[in-house]
């Protein structure tokens, strides 16, 4: 990954590297290997490999940070599963809402992720996402819910307080990791 990034960024002028990681991240970096990217992430020295300062954040949290425009915002990333984060008072909390029990013995990640979309079909899956977003908005006392991820574009109508985010907002989140004054505040 490092070699490909360096090759693709050849000729660019950059001083830092931001990485959105599809898994658990601690201050020491990724804490578990991702099932969809192969191994070698945990314990890897990204700073030495890139020769620059590196910050790594959960990918849902990074897209949430890029989508944030104030207040208490819950982010749901719909892809192979459900990524989630809550931002409030300039604090980002990565959540694992995809692990919550949902219906018929399945988890929220199984119901709202790729597997649920295939099993339920688009119309029923859209209803499930809308119902879950509304319920989670109430449960977290969120001012808004932002839905992103690869399957967000499959949604049509969203309930009040719920908006869609584009995956490109993750780039803004990557910048905001380094430039906190760029992030909007509540007041």
- Out of 6-10, 72-76, 152-156, give the one with best mean pLDDT: 72-76
Summarize the confidence of residues 49-76 as an average pLDDT: 94
Residue 139's pLDDT band, with cuts at 50, 70 and 90, is: very high
Give the integer Cα–Cα distance in Å for 28 and 24.
Answer: 11
Q: Tokens 């490109």: give the residue.
A: 168
CA neighbor of 89 nearest in space, from 71, 62, 64: 71
Cα 114 to its chain centre, rounded Å, is 15
Summarize the confidence of residues 125-150 as an average pLDDT: 96
Question: Please, what are the domains in the chain?
Answer: 2-58 (3.30.420.40), 60-180 (3.30.420.40)
Residues 6+ apart with CB under 8 A from 121: none
Specify whether the CB–CB gap between 73 and 90 falls below 8 A: no
pTM: 0.88
Residue 183's pLDDT band, with cuts at 50, 70 and 90, is: very low
Q: Token digits for 82?
A: 């459900």
DSSP three-state, residue 6: helix
Give the integer Cα–Cα distance in Å for 76 and 95.
Answer: 10
Q: Token digits for 93?
A: 């909390």
| pLDDT exceeds cutoff 70 at 186 | no
pLDDT tens digits, 66-124:
999 999 999 999 998 899 999 998 799 999 999 999 988 999 999 999 999 999 999 99
């Amino acid at each position: 990954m490092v070699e490909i990034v360096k090759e693709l960024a050849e000729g660019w002028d950059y001083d830092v590297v931001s990485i959105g990681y599809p898994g658990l991240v601690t201050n020491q970096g990724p804490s578990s290997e991702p099932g969809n990217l192969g191994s070698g992430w945990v314990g890897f020295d990204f700073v030495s490999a890139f020769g620059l300062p590196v910050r790594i954040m959960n990918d849902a949290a990074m897209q949430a940070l890029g989508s944030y425009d104030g207040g208490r915002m819950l982010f749901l990333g719909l892809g192979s599963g459900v990524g989630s984060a809550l931002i409030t008072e300039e604090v980002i909390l990565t959540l694992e809402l995809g692990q919550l029990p949902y219906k018929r013995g399945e988890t929220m990640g199984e119901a709202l992720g790729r597997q649920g979309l295939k099993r339920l079909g688009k119309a029923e899956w859209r209803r499930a996402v809308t119902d879950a977003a509304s319920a989670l908005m109430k449960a977290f006392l969120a001012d808004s819910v932002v839905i992103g991820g690869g399957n967000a574009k499959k949604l049509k109508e969203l309930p009040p307080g719920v908006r869609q985010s584009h995956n490109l907002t993750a780039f803004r989140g990557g910048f905001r990791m380094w430039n906190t004054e760029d992030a909007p505040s509540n007041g």
